[in-house]
């Protein structure tokens, strides 16, 4: 059958993290690998009540096909919710998606012809790379800095490309507590990148799953809000990290011509987002005490982060050459180990030690990979698991440094 597959699919291997999760079935393994919010902070009662009510009172419509752009009630609730983040939009600026990953898929389909260029940070979200790879994207990619994108480097790179007649299609960013690095873009850089986008007429795709999850420091305006809905930014949001990921609901916001086309594409790929799930999100936005909910989630995650950072300090003194980011929010941090370590090999040694992480290479496009980095999710494991897991990570690194290599990939 393989020879009948579309050319682009022949070597396509999907989102690599998904494949690695098969190593995590052993309950003895402490996983820092997923991107999982903790089920301890899901508002389970509210979700259950909303689901029961929707089916009891409205089963005819809840179980039917529903409008492609999304439920009016949810879109209205989202428009209200966004006002609390200084984003003021109209109904023609929003479309409901079936999760953040779907939002990314739609963006790739709308903008990218084969070999088209996307401007990205290195590293960046592996799921975005996987979505854009489906369109055979190419990249202008610059190392992310402590305060976010290398805006100057991007500006030079874009100028260069334009002088060769090559027009990048969009700039993809996760400005708040980036997945995977945990880095947050400074206000100066948000303003600078917006100006740069406007100067070169390249839209910014601002992916914001983690904005609500700030544990310390100053809340910074989104690039979308800085643009004041002038059409230079497309915002991607999801309920996955603020409510729960199983529900698979998100939303894209942006200029009406973009939203209309995204809706046409959605109609051709998944049609509608399940109304039941949308109704649960509407109930979450309208009936939940959001401040209290986010406070609870933030206190919970902040404690985990502080445990993780403490365990890193304890296990990895400076002489080990192991470095890590210290995020102000989100669910991830990024570890860099000395260059002679390959974190894919280390992954299999770590599995032997019963601890897992995401080898950083999946957060780079092919040809631009770095092999001495890893992504850590600190939000899911318990505090005891964090302490034990970091110790196991140290043991795996020590074994690697002592010359041991994995005996082969485990089955």
Ligand X SMILES: Cc1ncc(COP(=O)(O)O)c(C=O)c1O
Q: Give residues in contact with ligand X (CB under 6 A).
A: 35, 99-101, 125, 127, 174, 179, 207, 209, 238, 240, 245, 250
> Nearer to ligand X by C-beta: 35 or 148?
35
Which CB sits closer to ligand X, 71 or 206? 206
| Shorter beta-carbon distance to ligand X: residue 99 or 184 | 99
Strand, helix or coil for residue 25: coil
CB of 209 to ligand X, least distance (A): 5
Closest residue by Cα to residue 324 from 360, 281, 284: 360
- The answer to whether the CB of 300 falls within 8 A of the CB of 38 is yes
**By C-alpha distance, which of 218, 215, 209, 142 is closest to 176?**
209
What is the C-alpha separation between 240 and 280, in angstroms, rounded?
13
The smaller minimum CB distance to ligand X, of residues 174 and 233, is found at: 174
Rounded CA separation 284/386 (Å): 30
CB of 330 to ligand X, least distance (A): 8
Q: CB nearest ligand X: which residue?
A: 100
Q: Which residues contact 399 (CB under 8 A, 6 or more apart)?
A: 349, 353
Q: How far is the CB of 118 from ligand X (least distance, A)?
A: 14
d(CA 259, CA 90): 11
Cβ at position 174, least distance to ligand X in Å: 4
- Which of 125, 128, 110 has the alpha carbon at shortest distance from 254? 110
Q: What is the closest distance, in whole angstroms, from the C-beta atom of residue 41 to ligand X in the complex?
A: 15
Residue 386 CB, shortest distance to ligand X, in Å, is 20
CA distance 346 to 396: 7
- Report the residue number, 93 or 99, with the smaller CB distance to ligand X: 99
Question: How far apart, in whole angstroms, are the C-alpha atoms of residue 340 and residue 346?
Answer: 11
Comparing CB distances to ligand X, the nearer of 168 and 175 is 175
């Amino acid at each position: 059958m393989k020879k009948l597959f579309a050319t682009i699919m022949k070597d396509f291997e999907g989102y690599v993290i998904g494949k690695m999760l098969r190593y995590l079935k052993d309950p003895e393994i402490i996983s820092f690998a997923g991107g999982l919010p903790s089920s301890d902070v899901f508002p389970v009662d509210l979700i259950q009540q909303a689901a029961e009510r929707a089916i009891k009172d409205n089963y005819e419509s809840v179980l039917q096909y529903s409008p492609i752009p999304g439920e009016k009630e949810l879109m209205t609730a989202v428009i209200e919710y966004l006002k609390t983040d200084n984003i003021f939009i109209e109904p023609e600026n929003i479309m409901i998606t079936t999760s953040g990953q779907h939002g990314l898929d739609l963006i790739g389909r709308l903008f990218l012809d084969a070999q088209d260029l996307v401007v990205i940070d290195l590293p960046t979200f592996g799921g975005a790379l996987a979505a854009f790879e489906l369109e055979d994207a190419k990249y202008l990619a610059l190392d992310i800095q402590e305060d976010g994108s290398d805006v100057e480097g991007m500006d030079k790179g874009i100028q260069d490309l334009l002088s060769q007649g090559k027009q990048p299609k969009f700039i993809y960013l996760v400005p708040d507590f980036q997945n995977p690095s945990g880095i947050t873009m400074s206000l100066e850089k948000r303003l600078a990148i917006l100006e740069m986008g406007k100067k070169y007429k390249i839209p910014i795709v601002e992916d914001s799953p983690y904005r609500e999850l700030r544990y310390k420091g100053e809340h910074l305006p989104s690039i979308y809000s800085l643009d004041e809905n002038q059409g230079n930014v497309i915002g991607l949001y999801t309920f996955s990290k603020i409510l729960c990921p199983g529900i698979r609901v998100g939303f894209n916001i942006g200029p009406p011509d973009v939203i209309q086309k995204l809706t046409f594409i959605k109609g051709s790929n998944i049609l509608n987002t399940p109304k039941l799930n949308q109704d649960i999100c509407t109930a979450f936005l309208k009936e939940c005490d959001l401040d209290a909910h986010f406070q609870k989630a933030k206190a919970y995650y902040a404690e985990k982060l502080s445990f993780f950072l403490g365990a890193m300090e304890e296990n990895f003194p400076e002489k080990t050459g192991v470095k890590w980011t210290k995020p102000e929010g989100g669910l991830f941090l990024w570890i860099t180990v000395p260059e002679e370590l390959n974190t894919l090999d280390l992954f299999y040694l770590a599995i032997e030690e019963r601890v897992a992480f995401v080898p950083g290479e999946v957060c780079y496009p092919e040809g631009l990979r770095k092999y001495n980095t890893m992504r850590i999710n600190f939000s899911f494991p318990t505090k005891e698991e964090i302490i034990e897991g970091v110790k196991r990570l140290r043991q795996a690194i020590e074994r690697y440094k002592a010359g041991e290599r994995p005996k082969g990939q485990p089955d």
